[in-house]
Amino acid sequence: MKKTGINTLRLFLLAVLAGFAIGIGGVVFLSLEIKLAGALMFTVGLYTICVHGLNLFTGKVGYLPERSADYLFDLLIIWLGNLAGTFLTASCVLFSRIKGISEPAKKMCETKIGDGFFSLLLLGILCGFLMYVAVDGYIKTQNPIILFMGVAAFILGGFEHCIADMFYFSVAEMWSLDVLLRVLTITLGNAIGGMLIPLAKKVGTSE
C-alpha cells in the first residue's frame, strides 16, 4: 500500500520525538559522574520510546527481514527524524545553563573520531544486537528490566549507537563530513547487529 503524505509525516514526527528522547537520555548520562548510574539512567529515553510507540531506527531496523522493500523508506524517514530530534535536544542544551555538558561530549566524540571505521562498524554491530534483544524482549514481555540491562550493557561495553552518537556530536558541535561518514558506518553496524537474530530464525523456514 502506498503511503500517504500524512502517514509519512506521522512517521517522521514520532521519529523526531524518539531522537529527542534519546537526546534526553544522553543529557542525563553526560551529567552524571558515576558511569554505571549514567548508563542506567540513559534508559529513560528508550523506555519512553517503547511505552509511547515512538520510532527509533535501532529499535525498528531489526524487523527489516520480516517486512517488504517499502520498509526501507520507513527506516530512512525514521533515521532522518531521529537526527532532527537529537539535534533539537542538543540545541535546547546549548542555549541553556547546562551547556557545560558539551565538554564531556567533546571528549567522547574525540575518541570516536580517532577510531577506525572498521572498529566503529564492529562496535555498531554489537550495539545493534543488544538493542534488538532489548526492544523485542520488551515487546514480548512488557518487562522494562530488559531495556535497562540492554542499554546499560552497550554503554558500559563501549559499543556504538548511531542515534546516541548523533546527539553527542550535535551537543559537542563537532559535525563534519568525516563525522557523518562515521555515523553512517555505525548505522550500518547497528542494522547488521539488529538483524542477526531475525535472519538466523529465517534460515530453513519457508516463506
Query: What average pLDDT score do residues 152-167 get?
Result: 97
The span from the CA of 59 to the CA of 1, in Å, is 23
Angle between helices 43-52 and 117-141 (to 10 degrees): 50
What tens digit of pLDDT does each residue of 15-64 get? 999 999 999 999 999 999 999 999 999 999 999 999 999 999 999 999 99
pLDDT score at 119? 98
Give the global pTM. Answer: 0.94
Mean pLDDT of the chain: 95
In terms of phi and psi (left: phi > 0; alpha: psi -120 to 50; beta: otherwise), the region of 34 is: beta
Q: Measured between alpha carbons, how far is residue 6 from residues 9, 75, 76, 84, 185 in Å?
A: 5, 16, 16, 18, 31
Q: What is the pLDDT of residue 42?
A: 96
- Give the pLDDT confidence score for residue 207 in this predicted structure: 53
pLDDT, residue 200, reads: 96
12 has a pLDDT exceeding 50? yes
pLDDT of 5: 86
Q: What percent of the chain has pLDDT over 70?
A: 98
Residue 135 in this model has a pLDDT that exceeds 70 = yes
Please compute the mean of the pLDDT values over residues 92-110 and round it to a whole number. Answer: 97
User: Quick one: cell of 198?
Assistant: 531475525
Q: Residue 195 pLDDT > 90, yes or no?
A: yes
Who wins on pLDDT, 37 or 207? 37
Residue 3's pLDDT band (cuts 50, 70, 90): low
* pLDDT at residue number 126: 98
**pLDDT surpasses 60 at 1:** no
> What are the structural domain ranges in the chain?
5-200
Reply yes or no on whether the pLDDT at 2 is more than 70. no
| List of residues 6+ apart from 101 with CB closer than 8 A | 27, 30, 31, 93, 171
CATH number attached to the domain at 5-200: 1.20.1080.10
pLDDT of residue 111 exceeding 60, the answer is yes
